[in-house]
Structure 1
Amino acid sequence: MYASASSIGHHGEIIQGVFRDGEDRLHRGLVTLPFVPRHSIALARSTNSATVEIEPKHKRKALQAIKMFLERANRGATGIHVTIKSNIPEGFGLGSSTADIVSSVGATARLLGASVKSRDLFRLAVQAETASDGIMFLKWPHLVCQREGRVLERYKWRLPRFSLLSFNAAPNDPVDTLDYTAARYSDDEIDEFQVLRALLRRAFKKQDLALLAEVATRSSIINQRHLPQPHFDEILEIVRDAKAPGLQVAHSGRMIGIILRPEWRYHSRSVQTIQRELLHLGFFPEYHGAPHPHCV
């Protein structure tokens, strides 16, 4: 028997920081930017052994998540072989590990005729990875606690439409999330995150791209004090000179996305100008036109 499942990756975050819950306690949290061009596909098949095997073998986080899922489903001695195919580069903030977990656990569940909820997938991913993004929440954006497996807020609106210029700011310097030291935010930064959270909620509700981009840009600027990206100030100046709405980053990776107005096409003068300036800095941007590839 065979079963398959897939998962998209992400392009870093719209916001990542520290946020308060209803009892005024602080939690690390983020809102993921889903990114359809990057994806992981898993094929699960039954075997005669009593072990779980995964291919490629270095996908250990996915293997651990599958084993935890089987134990919780009281199927710990089930023989399963899972093969993962992915076009997501590892170590740059595109969600490779989480996508592998979502696709492989999803394929395993289908093979067994079982179901797995998004929140359960999130908790499995956090346990297997230490920190996880929220790409398993496809229908609506979520503010999630990436190290706790907890959802702080579920939004009732989708992302506004926009195009994106995507590029890797440091292709020779990936980030190992297991070795990455989580940012220690100042009191002023924590206060700013509370303001940005309220602005983000309004941006979703009003479908206000300018406000969404402002939140993403300000979060990126805060993150620059904790995980600096090369030429960030110059990139920000390019964005502002072109009157683009803003930019976003992978807060624990190396991807940067310039947020473009949805009507700006690849051959638009503003887009060509931005691409030319990025090329001068040594970056190679990829254009992804509106509607931006998030779940619609």
Structure 2
Amino acid sequence: MTEAPRPTAPGGDPHRTTGDGRAPCHHGEILQGYFHDENRRLCHGLVTLPMDRPGSVARFARRPGSKPDEVTVTPAGRTKAREAAVLALRECAVLRGQDPCGGELTLSGDLPVGLGMGSSTSDVVATVRAVADSWGLRLPPETVARLAVRAEGAGDPLMYGPRPLLFAQREGRVLEVLGSALPPAVVVGCALGGSEPVDTLALTVLVEDGDLAAYAHLRRMLRRAVADADTTLLGRVSTASARLRQRVLRHREFPALKGIADSVGAVGVQIAHSGNVAGILFDPRAPGLDGGLRRCRRALAREGITQTRTFTNFASPHRLGGPPWTTTYPKPSAART
């Protein structure tokens, strides 16, 4: 598919030199494992639990006439975002029929780092969008995904919005569109492992006999859960996937987390498969929801598990109760790469 240059972008024209971009985050995974694509080739794949915020905000100012790799980043140390800016500059220059150049990238936002919420991908997607906006362009999500994976080595499907997708994170492509939306859920968020960041590159993936069949079965279950808007089935899938991942992450709090979910009427648990963020899932249509949420928070406090925020994965007229992010998560670090 050929991408036509966009003649006028919001807030400017093709000759503009500054641009802005935003990207959301996610709350870890509903499902992650190994899956076959349409050609029966085995791929790493995941389905994330989307969130509207927090997220990353980027502003990019092009310097026409400068070398294409002369990109400065504030805060310093955001090497993946810088690489994404360089790649996006070259992509957009080709689309505009001009020479690539460098520029200045400024990133902001309140997204916690290293907890498995897609902080680096959020930075990268916001950066690519800001660079494109500085050229008066809007790149399609397939192009943003390709650039993000080249910059990071692997990424999350944040560029596609909140639709539930089985996404090949190391290849930047969609394996399956599961539907228009995940089943509705209320999530009591928490952070395991003392809220410490996880070095995702140091994780060793373990695959045992029967895992491929298990992941194929969970994929079919999740497909059915989305089609039927079945939150209970969603919880079964996320809990099973989280349990499989414990061979790698070994969260000491996981048995307590699962026990709390069972005792308060939740449908299951979900975790970041490469981090410490986690959640207990409730069906918003279930009777006694408010009481279940209160019991859940009290039980988490008794176990010494850090609570973060209670939120929904669907449009809600008001934010559910819970402390703000800044009081419970580590602040974003300038050393994010």
What's the TM-score, normalizing by structure 1? Answer: 0.92
- SS of the equivalent of 1:226 reads helix
Partner of 2:78: 59
Deviation at 1:207, TM superposition (A): 0.8
Bigger mean CA deviation after superposition, 217-226 or 50-59: 50-59
Residue in 2 that maps onto 1:242: 264
More moved, 69-78 vs 278-287: 69-78
The residue aligned with 1:188 is: 210
Contact 2:50 2:313 in 1 (8 A): no
> Residue 69 of structure 1: CA displacement?
1.7
- Equivalence for 1:229: 251
| 3-state SS of 1:24 partner | coil
Using a 3 Å threshold, how does the CA distance of structure 1 residues 130 and 62 change in structure 2: closer, same or farther? same
Letter of the aligned partner of 2:211 in structure 1?
Answer: E
Match of 2:61 among 33, 38, 45: 45
Residue of structure 2 equivalent to 1:252: 274
- Tell me which of 122, 138, 157 is aligned to 2:161: 138
- Counterparts of residues 248-287 of structure 1 (less than 5 Å): 248-263=270-285, 268-287=290-309
User: Residues of 2 paired with 1:42 and 1:277: CA distance?
Assistant: 39
Deviates more, 1:149-158 or 1:170-179: 170-179
Q: CA shift at 1:131, angstroms? A: 1.6
Q: CA deviation at 1:29?
A: 0.4
> Counterpart amino acid of 2:142?
R
Deviation at 1:264, TM superposition (A): 7.1
Which residue type is aligned with residue 65 of structure 1? Answer: A
The answer on whether the counterparts of 1:175 and 1:252 sit within 8 Å (CA) in structure 2 is yes
Structure-1 separation of matches of 2:188 and 2:264: 13
From 114, 123, 132, the counterpart of 1:100: 123
Q: Distance in 1 between matches of 2:288 and 2:128?
A: 37
In structure 2, what is the equivalent of residue 26 of structure 1?
42
1:108-138: per-residue Cα shift (whole Å, max 9, x none)?
1011112211112112222211221111111
Distance 1:264 1:287 in 2: 20
Q: Which moved more, 1:251-260 or 1:168-177?
A: 168-177
Runs of 5+ unmatched residues, structure 1: none
* Matched length: 293
In the TM superposition, residue 25 of structure 1 has moved relative to its aligned partner by 2.2
Deviation at 1:287, TM superposition (A): 3.7
- Give the secondary structure class of the aligned counterpart of 1:135: helix
Give the distance between the partners of 1:248 and 1:139, measured in 2 at CA.
Answer: 17
Letter in 2 for 1:237: G
**Which of 1 and 2 has greater Rg?**
2
Deviation string for 1:136-163 (max 9, x for gaps)?
Answer: 1115221111112222111232112211
Tell me, yes or no, if the aligned pair for 1:15 and 1:215 is still in contact at 8 Å.
yes
Q: Is the Cα contact below 8 Å between 2:186 and 2:310 reproduced in 1?
A: yes
> For residues 10-37 of structure 1, what are the alpha-carbon distances to aligned partners after superposition, in whole Å with 9 as ceiling and x for unaligned?
1111100011123332111001111122
Q: Which runs of 5+ in 2 are unaligned?
A: 1-16, 317-337
Q: 1:14–1:63: structure 2 CA closer, same or farther, 3 Å change rule?
A: same
SS of 2:306's equivalent in the other structure is coil
Query: How far off is 1:62 after superposition?
Result: 0.7
Is contact 1:158–1:204 with CA below 8 Å preserved after alignment?
Answer: yes
Alignment partner of 2:139 out of 112, 116, 122: 116
Match of 1:36 among 30, 45, 52: 52
Name the structure 1 match of 2:326. none
Alpha-carbon contact 1:35-1:293 (below 8 Å) kept: no
After superposition, the CA RMSD in angstroms is: 2.1
* Alpha-carbon distance in structure 2 between the residues aligned to 1:218 and 1:251: 12
Cα pair distance change 1:241/1:135, threshold 3 Å: same
